[in-house]
Chain A
């Protein structure tokens, strides 16, 4: 039985007694949508390595264990109810620049943009982020650097994304700060909690890109101040 199926039973029992169920987010239940989000025994997504809450199974626990369940905790992720939190801050960070500006119909023939296999693979590794927010929940500073750096890197590894890379990194980092996420102090807790194996190497890459962009590009976006 999966962890969420266990919670379904808890909720069904509650309802049978006329009580309110307990609110938690979930959708795909196969580790890809990024909706499930529980801190289990102090660990975002629970004790299993590189596993989302929905893919955690009860066989990881022993009979009689006490299990403590909490929501993601971060100022930028206000709790809606019980364990459901508001993660729209992540959407706003993407809105700030996490895309390639290409309108439908304006694309060139696909094979005219060759991409070295190694770059395509690295871009994919970064793009595997499911936007769950476990990295934020794991960090004592509630930093969103792992999430933001994954998106920045995904696009900047590819020629299609390079055109806007500088503008993108500046805008996304600015939005991240505005949303109230904390700074990165190199604790690597995010990497340990991430269910998709996103590594802090991307944070380093993003920092380099950010620095470069501040020097060469920031004036254009924000003016001389």
Chain B
């Protein structure tokens, strides 16, 4: 397959303007003849569904939760970037573009990022008009704060609940379209498969989470806005409903997946407190602005933190990166935390944490709830946690995956953050994709594509439904002894350990054997890992630690890259088959280069019958 990202010509500043003009349009009266399915109601999904409804398309919106307002975006705290330059501190569209590309280690698709920076200002306008209560100055104008990884103040915020307020804005717009009859809501549904007819995405199979029944839904295009796959690692900051089924099923149907190894580790998470923990919670990143991160200078210093004098404290970020200090990008902060812990300087029972001291900020946020320690007296302990996935389904400039008619928006796609995402830019990307990109590009697709009439009773839908039914049936009829959670926990922990470890070849192997054993335990008879082992052997030198999210880029054929997919497979719908063959020979052979982005060719040649 040749990947064509369809990036328009011209200078970076004029690409999007030019492309908008060149895209074919759908006549307003004809829009109602097209049906669009939008899966997921986070920032990307809610904004897309609402905007497409406003344009006149018929939209069907699906979410796992009981209400679209509860999608995972609701949990975002810190803020959203825009290049308004209200602070007069030298910001511009070009600087936002530049910072984002640089923060992503020059691996993001530049044309997409420039478009994102251009749209950033429109997003703030839109949200303010909807009534999003952003933080303001006494003069009544919008306030900004600075955020990790940048030296200008360009982050708009609504206290520590920016994601919630932005999502409520998009949700309200969505509800308005439901009332207008342009969007039909399907809550408590999980997408189980993508239906592809004549090579085009034409609908989905969903499971009604109340009745358990499978339903078929027909459309002219499908937008996957289903978020990231951080939960593959079991413990992450993601919500429980943030699963990767939808993206994975699309991938199984031929949508290529890019950069699965790019996982972001957030530096300021409240450390893990026990084996039965179900998720990780962030400490507010904005606290980092006021807070100073440190560990004792000497290993084995057992004094309580308030007894350790200034000179015995190692403010490692401030010392190593004087111009950014505690505001270094997340990957740098996480990697350094991991390094000092590996060097034996870690604190707390587990020695897997560092201190964060902050004086005034504490009053604003209630943070004592989780740990039961009083942050007035003791500095908080923090540790990095799996947080965001930069990788995702491959999309072209129009946000279309390699399956025509299947668009991918928000965290679910791979294009805008390269190898590391800067703080406050995921919310920006979700809303840019949903409000200001898809409304244009989907029209171009409809206007330029011949779409045959299809219906739920077509063979393709029936087959797809039957396959889903069989998968579920097989899964449910395993008379196993372990619960899904239990298996997920073991696999996820193994993967997370691997992701964050520096001695890769050995641990890759042992993780693979955990995967293999689990595969056997879940009645999978055969797991052929021959080739995988070989490539693990030859793999060396992944530079240290958490930054492996980036380091692995030069080892795209290594099992580490594939592990998220394998796990997600086993976890999310694959444990049902009798026979599993992981044949990495086929799967790992072709990598290709798309602009500056590494890309892993997988799919349909995967010989894993369960995958």
Chain A positions near chain B (C-beta within 8 angstroms):
1-2, 4-5, 8-9, 12, 15-16, 25-30, 32-35, 51, 55, 57, 59, 80-81, 84, 86-88, 90-91, 94-96, 98-111, 113-117, 120-121, 123-124, 127-128, 130-131, 154-155, 158, 160-161
Contacts and interface: CB of A to CB of B under 8 A. Distances in A.
Contacts of A32: 74-75, 161, 164
B175 A99 contact: yes
The 10 A-B pairs at the shortest CB distance, nearest first, are namely: A114-B140, A107-B129, A99-B172, A124-B133, A107-B125, A33-B70, A95-B179, A104-B51, A110-B128, A123-B133
A88 B485 contact: no
B473 interface: no
A113 B70 contact: no
Given A30-B279, A104-B50, 5 more contacts: A27-B65, A29-B240, A95-B176, A102-B173, A114-B140
Interface of B: 47, 50-51, 54, 64-72, 74-75, 84, 86, 122, 124-131, 133-142, 158-159, 161, 164-165, 168, 171-173, 175-176, 178-179, 185, 187, 210, 239-241, 274, 276-279, 281, 369-370, 372, 435-436, 439, 481, 483, 485-486
Contacts of A116: 136, 140
Nearest to B132: A127
Contacts of A102: 126, 129-130, 173
Contacts of B134: 120
A28 B278 CA distance: 11
B276 A5 contact: yes
B225 to A, nearest CB: 15
B67 A28 contact: no
B131 A110 contact: no
Contacts, number: 188
A99 B240 CA distance: 28
A33 B138 contact: no
Which one of B66, B134, B481 has the highest number of Cβ atoms from chain A below 10 Å of its Cβ?
B66
A122 B136 CA distance: 12
A98 B175 contact: yes
A27 B240 contact: yes
Nearest to A107: B129
Contacts of A103: 51, 54
Contact of B175 (A1, A91, A110): A91
16 contacts: A28-B75, A28-B240, A30-B75, A32-B75, A88-B187, A91-B178, A94-B171, A94-B172, A100-B130, A100-B131, A101-B176, A103-B51, A105-B122, A107-B122, A107-B128, A109-B125
B153 to A, nearest CB: 15
A127 B175 contact: no
Contact of B161 (A5, A91, A128): A128
A146 to B, nearest CB: 16
A131 B72 contact: no
A81 B274 CA distance: 30
A104 B126 contact: yes
A53 to B, nearest CB: 13
Given A16-B483, A30-B75, A55-B369, A91 B133 contact: no
B133 A154 contact: yes
A110 B70 contact: no
Given A28-B74, A29-B279, A12 B483 contact: yes
Contact of A5 (B71, B168, B185, B278): B278
B349 to A, nearest CB: 16
A154 B71 CA distance: 21
Contact of B54 (A57, A104, A107): A104
Nearest to A2: B278
A108 B129 contact: yes
Contacts of A1: 274, 276-277
B227 to A, nearest CB: 12
B278 A160 contact: no
Given A88-B67, A96-B179, A161 B131 contact: yes
B126 to A, nearest CB: 5
Contacts of A96: 179
A124 B159 contact: yes
B372 A131 contact: no
Contacts of B165: 124, 127
B73 to A, nearest CB: 10
Given A12-B486, A30-B75, A100-B129, A57 B175 contact: no
Nearest to A81: B210
Contacts of B276: 1, 5, 8-9
A59 B69 contact: no
A178 to B, nearest CB: 14
A118 to B, nearest CB: 9
Contacts of B274: 1
Nearest to B51: A104
